[in-house]
Chains A and B, each alone.
Chain A
Amino acid sequence: MSILRALLVIPLVFLASFILTGRSDGFFLKQFMFDDNKALDKWSSMVLNGKVDYELIKSGDNGFIKAESESACSALYYRIGFKAKEYPILSWKWKALKFPDKSHANTEKEKNDYAARVYVIFPFLNFSTSKFIEYVWAEDVPEGTILNSPDGKNIKMIVAKSGRTTGDDWMPESRNIYNDYKAAFGKAPNLDAGAIAIMCDSDNTKSAAEAFFDEITIASEITGEKRRIQ
């Protein structure tokens, strides 16, 4: 009888601890601090037009991603499925030190280079029905502007940061992707997000760009203070 009781109680204890542990960290769906040497192992690379150099830089215990593009365009993406309504907050830190030279760019396609982008990808059965939000750091477009991508009507670019910054400071960003999706596409997302990505590109302008990314977090609400979880 006691063995039977133990067999019943032990799984319940595990279940309870799992639920309680989940609740305590359920605030965050995922947090990428890039402090670990293997932090980029689960990120995949997609080369579009020449490979951008994405490097994991360690500074003491802390780490971040440095992206350098020389007339190149490639992205790093991480597959993670989540409902934008349940985990609407995407936050990250970034800085852009070198912007693509758009002085000679005339067409929208030629201008489609940004020092830093953060993507939220809502994949469906094919490209034409999938939706994409790109948060871009633009040099010359006002913050909050929603741009149509020259690559398709399902790709909306939201200018999250505009202009050059003074100094070498990290700029924190926090976006509500559920609200941004509604603002960009005119309706709430009916697809789950399937991946996030970062990119630095300068291939269209045949110039150079340099950006840094850190502390990418997907959370259920805006965090009061940054917590580090692994």
Chain B
Amino acid sequence: MDKAIRRTYLVNKPVQYRYMGIVGIPLVILCGALYYLMYYAVFNEMLIPEAVASTLVPAMLKVNKIVFIIGPIALYFILRAALIQSNRIVGPMPRLEKELEKAIAGDYTVRLKTRDKDELGSLVNKVNQLLASLDKK
């Protein structure tokens, strides 16, 4: 099976943005909710404002600084991973459609190409076997 070289990760913006949203948005909401609940739980145990102001708030400010620095970096890597993963599914589609159009037009010598980590490798192999059998006839 011929190998294709990845040129761009963003080949189908609506689908891939949706995929990244499915990963990124719940993650941000979950982390935000946990962050909030953690402080709410501690605050609810302390209650006395002077205790909260002298212990919880300084700790919260320190954690906030760390979260505001590390959070965007972590989110960038998570969304990047989501983009790469979505590309493994969506990425080959335009090329496969283009190659299949040739086969529909009667050129059964055409063979579909995938990359090693693409999720559609097995399907592409079956299509290539079909094309090969059609080509023999």
A residues bordering B, Cβ < 8 Å? 46-49, 73, 75, 77, 79, 112, 119, 121, 123, 125-127, 130, 132, 134, 149, 151-152, 154-155, 194-195, 197, 199, 201
**Known A-B contacts A125-B40, A127-B43; A152 and B53 likewise in contact (beta carbons under 8 Å):** yes
For residue A201, which residues in chain B have a CB less than 8 angstroms away from its CB?
50
> Which 4 pairs from chain A and chain B are nearest by CB?
A151-B53, A132-B49, A46-B48, A155-B49
For residue B133, which residues in chain A have a CB less than 8 angstroms away from its CB?
none
For residue B36, which residues in chain A have a CB less than 8 angstroms away from its CB?
125-126
Whether the Cβ atoms of B40 and A73 lie closer than 8 Å is no
For residue A47, which residues in chain B have a CB less than 8 angstroms away from its CB?
51
Q: Can you name 12 A-B pairs with beta carbons within 8 Å?
A: A46-B51, A126-B40, A127-B52, A127-B56, A132-B49, A149-B49, A152-B49, A152-B53, A152-B57, A154-B49, A155-B49, A197-B47
B122 at the interface (CB under 8 A from A): no
Whether the Cβ atoms of A126 and B43 lie closer than 8 Å is yes
**Known A-B contacts A48-B54, A151-B54; A123 and B44 likewise in contact (beta carbons under 8 Å):** yes
Min CB–CB distance B34 → chain A (angstroms): 14
CA distance A199 to B48 in the complex (A): 10
For residue A75, which residues in chain B have a CB less than 8 angstroms away from its CB?
48, 51
CA distance A136 to B36 in the complex (A): 31
Min CB–CB distance B37 → chain A (angstroms): 9
Which label, helix, strand, loop or mixed, suits the secondary structure of the A interface? strand
For residue B54, which residues in chain A have a CB less than 8 angstroms away from its CB?
48-49, 151
CA distance A197 to B52 in the complex (A): 14
Which label, helix, strand, loop or mixed, suits the secondary structure of the B interface? helix
Whether the Cβ atoms of A195 and B49 lie closer than 8 Å is no
For residue B50, which residues in chain A have a CB less than 8 angstroms away from its CB?
48, 73, 112, 149, 151, 201
For residue A155, which residues in chain B have a CB less than 8 angstroms away from its CB?
49, 53
B46 at the interface (CB under 8 A from A): yes
For residue B46, which residues in chain A have a CB less than 8 angstroms away from its CB?
46
Number of interface residues of B (CB under 8 A): 18
CA distance A77 to B60 in the complex (A): 23
A-B contacts besides A119-B48, A126-B43, A132-B49, 11 pairs, CB < 8 Å: A47-B51, A48-B54, A119-B49, A126-B36, A127-B43, A127-B53, A127-B56, A127-B60, A151-B50, A151-B53, A152-B49
B residues bordering A, Cβ < 8 Å? 36, 39-40, 43-44, 46-57, 60
Whether the Cβ atoms of B48 and A197 lie closer than 8 Å is yes
Whether the Cβ atoms of B49 and A77 lie closer than 8 Å is no
For residue B40, which residues in chain A have a CB less than 8 angstroms away from its CB?
125-126
Select from chain A the residue with minimum beta-carbon distance to B51: A48
Whether the Cβ atoms of B48 and A130 lie closer than 8 Å is no
For residue A126, which residues in chain B have a CB less than 8 angstroms away from its CB?
36, 39-40, 43
Q: Which of A77, A130, A197 contacts B43 (CB 8 A)?
A: A130
For residue B56, which residues in chain A have a CB less than 8 angstroms away from its CB?
127
**Known A-B contacts A48-B54, A127-B56, A151-B54; A195 and B39 likewise in contact (beta carbons under 8 Å):** no
Min CB–CB distance A114 → chain B (angstroms): 11
